[in-house]
Amino acid sequence: MTPRTSRQPQMPRLTTADLVNDSMLGVKLGLLAGGHAASERLVTHPRVQKTGLALVGHGYGVVPTRVQILGETEISFLATLPDEKKHEAMRFFYGLGLSCVIVTGNNRPHVSVIEEADKLGVPVYLSESRSSRTINAIHALLDERLAPRASLHGVLVDIFTVGVLILGKSGIGKSECALELIMRGHRLVADDVVHCDWRPPGLVFGVPDSRLAHHLEIRGLGILDVKEIFGITSTRERKRIDLVVRLVEWNEEEEYERLGIDDEYHRLLEVPIREVTVPVRPARDLGAILEIAARNELLRRRGVNTSKDFIERLRTSRRPGVGGEAPAHIPVPVPSYLDVTTHEVAWDTNEREESGPLSGESHAWVMRGGVGPKGSK
């Protein structure tokens, strides 16, 4: 099944001036040249680049919008060149249209590095730290500032450490469901507007809008301050999204998943996140259902897939000559709606009809209102 997709991500805009002046940058940078162009040069790539061969005239592979690093190796190579070659090498290098260059190790470079940068308007900075520390600090900041982002309408709740994103049309009961979960001891992350951002190696985190943080809107009651009512442990500022729950209105004519064999996914910031659809109608305890969904997600992380294990047990128990086959006089309780053809289970339908319902059979298998799985009658 094709995953549902949220709106296209928003790509942040970051200039060289924004980068070097950011208070979260873990290294100190001093301007050497080209400062007048810093507010115009964009940085669009979250990883730096060490130039290497570009200093000998090979510019293939250089990405201008990445932060370029001149480390000890590059500076020591420049020192071996005659002055005229130094200027020639830097003219070629800066002529690639670079966003900015950072010289590491707190070693002031040759005058050619500064003069050619001023001529071509390329910002050049000097880092007091070595290349490794400078690169790590820049990567950490760029991961934060250049992370793809998207905002969507929904509610994000932390249930047993599982980040559950509740989606559904307005008025279906997302906030009321979140309130029930909070009363059960779980934590609210965001209500109404969830800001999502991507993090390597392919994780999506959700945060609340700064104006709506730790607040919940309940129709009939108005705006509630969850932190004030339930205490500081009832909210959190940020959570990874592990599961999407889509609430839909119960429709007698609609076919809903009954076995949980086929997984559906919601694609958020190009990351597929497992999605379950929960029909809503009076008397259904959505708080309990979402708790079970979170517990089941924890089981799946451990490699336990209850639905598939159940089908496999049925397949094994009915296979001739396989150990564990049920004796003929003890009928195996199987859901009456199980599509044995689809799931390749060899099952004699007459045996189920003749045996009749077992006294201990779970009511979970009883069909109500004619609603069954896909293909059932």
258 flagged as catalytic: yes
Active-site residue (options: 108, 153, 169, 301): 153
pLDDT value at residue 8: 64
153 flagged as catalytic: yes
Active-site residue (options: 174, 195, 214, 236): 174
Query: Which one has a higher pLDDT value, 307 or 115?
Result: 115
**In the structure encoding, which two tokens stand for residue 47, read together?**
């990883």
The string of pLDDT tens digits covering residues 185-204 is 999 999 999 999 998 889 99
Fold classification of 16-145 (topology level):
3.40.1390
Question: 294-299: long-range contacts at Cβ-Cβ below 8 A with a sequence spacing of 24 or more?
Answer: 294/159, 294/160, 294/162, 294/164, 294/243, 295/160, 297/162, 297/242, 297/243, 298/160, 298/161, 298/162
Instruction: Kindly write down the DSSP assignment for every residue of 191-239, as one continuous string.
Output: EEEEEEEEETTTEEEEEE-TTTTTEEEETTTEEEEHHHHH-GGGB-S-E
Query: Which one has a higher pLDDT value, 358 or 302?
Result: 302
The string of pLDDT tens digits covering residues 310-337 is 888 888 887 665 555 545 444 545 555 4
pLDDT value at residue 256: 80
pLDDT value at residue 257: 77
**Mean pLDDT calculated for residue range 75-88:** 93
Query: Which one has a higher pLDDT value, 46 or 321?
Result: 46
Q: How far apart are CA 248 and CA 225, in angstroms?
A: 27
Pairing of strands 149-159, 187-199: antiparallel
Fold classification of 149-301 (topology level):
Rossmann fold (3.40.50)
Query: Which one has a higher pLDDT value, 107 or 237?
Result: 237
Query: What is the pLDDT of the chain when averaged over all its residues?
Result: 84
Active-site residue (options: 22, 118, 143, 192): 192
Domain boundaries, the chain: 16-145, 149-301, 317-365
pLDDT value at residue 351: 39
Active-site residue (options: 215, 258, 266, 318): 258
pLDDT value at residue 6: 63
285 flagged as catalytic: no
The string of pLDDT tens digits covering residues 22-39 is 999 999 999 999 988 898
